[in-house]
Amino acid sequence: MKTRLALGALGVLVMAYAVAGILADTGTDPLSQAGFLVALLLAHDLVLLPAGVVVGALVGWRWHSPYTSIVRGGLWTSAIVCLIAVPFLVEGRNLSPRNFPAGLLVTLAAVWLAVGGAVVVRRLRR
């Protein structure tokens, strides 16, 4: 319980720091940033969460394995990374010269490499 409270307090502090940074920076538009945040929250609650629940239920229903929870974690992480990456993929050329699709693929590869490693570790412990 103490860990949960500490993490919650840390999250509130980080968000307060972010809001203070947005309000203090003259190069940002707080209204458009607030609109983006609302859109991201709606996308999470109306698209990502229901899709994740359905996919998680299907994975658990169709695939009975000691690794199901690890795969579900990888699926959730991949979905969240993709949701966060969408604005950068759409407007990436306007933001910077970085290659955002390649970055997304590298990040997803790292996620699934970690999932594979967790499966191997669990298998070796059995």
Q: Which of 50-59, 63-72, 83-92, 96-105 has the lowest mean pLDDT?
A: 83-92
Q: Does residue 87 or residue 14 have the better pLDDT?
A: 14
Q: What is the phi/psi pair of residue 101, to 5°?
A: -60, -40
Residues 6+ apart with CB under 8 A from 50: none
Q: What is the pTM of this model?
A: 0.64
Q: Does residue 55 or residue 3 have the better pLDDT?
A: 3
The CA-CA-CA angle for residues 123, 74, 19, to 5°, reads 140
**What per-residue confidence (pLDDT) applies to 95?**
60
Neighbours of 104 (CB within 10 A): 19
